[in-house]
Structure 1
Amino acid sequence: MPPLSELLMFAALLVLAGGVAGLLAGVFGIGGGAVLVPVFYQVFGWAGIAPEVIMHLAVGTSTALIVPTSIRSFRAHQLRGAVDIDLLKGWIVAVPLGALLATVVAAYASSEMLRLIFAVIGLVLAARMLFLSNRFHLGTELPGEPVLFLTGGVIGLISGLMGIGGGVLNNTFMTLFGRPIHQAVATSSGVGVLISIPALVGYVWAGWGRADLPVFSTGYVNWVAFALIFPTAMLVTPYGAKLAHQMSKRQLEVGFGLFLIFVSIRFFISLYG
């Protein structure tokens, strides 16, 4: 067991991460998991949790936190009339299905491989946002079925595996087809709701009954970490949504691109650092 001073430092780090995650949830329509998963991974390691379950616990706990932050972010954006409700209705089966599949795959996939895939995809998406935002589009209308359904399933699958809210992928998908970044950000908060609720159930089920989990855990969700981060994230999220609507399209794109680069670097460091 680490000294009390280290435990207090990590508790403060978790509270700070909650504030950052809440802000990102509002600004970019994401659940903040890209920030929380690396923090959880580090903190759980220092706490002496079994290495075999650290990554799963980090992703599961991050997913649990995406539920309230995404709902709060979605409500804030919906009040501004910026959410594409029709797209969310079209994904009401596909996205949760992909998220549930992710919880099944997560128990068998290599965490190193998942982090590498995420880092590479993050850099590709960042390059698109930073350098090709106004010059590279696949169309002016979102694709029809079955492409739309498959896209929703893939977004749910990848996001569920990484413990993120889906905004990273949905923002890029919508802007590739000419949708305004503000609408993409707002709709991503709803995608986060569709991903996080079934994924939370899946991660609880996947880790149910494991003896090597820390106290106050339900499956792969640790409620101590949840309790430290939840209040700060909920408090900050609406301010992020307000900030998003005060920024220009280009500011949002640059900010989102830089955020993706930061996340990718974090994953590369965890693999090769």
Structure 2
Amino acid sequence: MDFLATLALSLPLVAELLVLGLFTGFLAGLLGIGGGMLMVPFLTMILGARGVAPAMAVKMAIATSMATILFTSLSSVRAHHRRGVVRWDLVRGLAPGIVIGGLLAGAGAFAALKGNWLAAVFGLFVSFSATQMLRRRAAGESRQMPGAGGQAAAGGLIGFVSGLVGAGGGFISVPFMSGRGVAMHQAVATSAALGFPIALANTVGYVVGGWNLPAALPGTLGYLYLPALAVICVASVSTAPLGAKAAHAMNVAQLKKVFALLLYGLAAYMLWKATQG
């Protein structure tokens, strides 16, 4: 009953969460990302306005954003799978490392790192990834995907970094795969499929890591804010297939440019956050 009571949100708040969910769901399908880097800042502001302490608001926003990917990834990957472009062999190769990396991050590592240091490193890394993507000429000129050990290690990095920022990992996995001979549409679709193990491992970690914390708001489970999770998921699941459809209507060059521009925008935001101390 307590959880149901928390769903009696004000209409303006519901409207904000619905718009946020619609937009991030579309991006999940279009670019194989969970939209976390857009969702986290807005959720932080929403939670802060409801009296949550700034440090806790950021953690709850990251955890809640990651949990939404459990649902948006399923909706998105279903649409991609129908078109036969998901590389399930790569999903199997990357997923074990992703689970381990996600659990390590979600269970507490993200709380121990200095936020401004992490933001600076992340911003520079994303800028580099975007530049490399724009410089690619053809898949045949790229390196090949590594073997099982290399894929497990890459998966560990993807899962760990994703857990620290509450994102679905597309900002790492798409450039990684497209730079190693995987066609761009396949990289986006496979990244969407990888979003589920990333979200599952990190969400479990967030719940375990925050289990003994006092609830910042009614409806909190660990670091998760369940009412916001419910509203955003309803909206995002409905638009993820539309994003996947739009992705297949674009040519590879257009999709690379869109993704690279998004990466530059995320990098600029993170570098700006790093200067805030």
TM-score in same-fold range (> 0.5): yes
1:88 aligns with 2:91: yes
Distance across 1 between alignment mates of 2:120 and 2:13: 26
Distance across 2 between alignment mates of 1:51 and 1:147: 38
Out of 198, 201, 212, which is 1:198 matched to?
201
Residue number in structure 2 paired with 1:108: 112
- Show structure 2 runs of 5+ residues with no match: 1-9
Residue number in structure 2 paired with 1:208: 211
* AA aligned opposite 1:176: G
Please give the residue correspondences for 1:215-230 in structure 2 after superposition, counting only pairs within 5 Å.
Answer: 215-230=218-233
Deviates more, 1:109-118 or 1:81-90: 109-118
**How far is 1:9 from its partner?**
4.3
- Note closer, same or farther for the CA distance 1:120–1:152 as it changes in structure 2 (3 Å cut): same
1:163 aligns with 2:180: no
**How far is 1:90 from its partner?**
1.4
Residue number in structure 2 paired with 1:253: 256
* AA aligned opposite 2:187: A
Residue number in structure 2 paired with 1:266: 269
* AA aligned opposite 1:252: L
Residue number in structure 2 paired with 1:4: none
TM-score normalised by structure 2 residue count: 0.90
Out of 21, 24, 29, which is 1:26 matched to?
29
* AA aligned opposite 1:247: M
TM-score normalised by structure 1 residue count: 0.91
**How far is 1:111 from its partner?**
2.3
Residue number in structure 1 paired with 2:18: 15
Distance across 2 between alignment mates of 1:267 and 1:17: 19
1:47 aligns with 2:50: yes
* Percent pairwise identity: 35
- Note closer, same or farther for the CA distance 1:205–1:151 as it changes in structure 2 (3 Å cut): same
**1:94 alignment partner, SS class:** helix
| Number of equivalences | 266
Distance across 1 between alignment mates of 2:209 and 2:143: 40
| Structure 1 vs Structure 2 CA RMSD | 1.9
**How far is 1:224 from its partner?**
1.7
Moved over 6 A (4+): 135-138
- Show structure 1 runs of 5+ residues with no match: 1-6
* AA aligned opposite 2:19: L
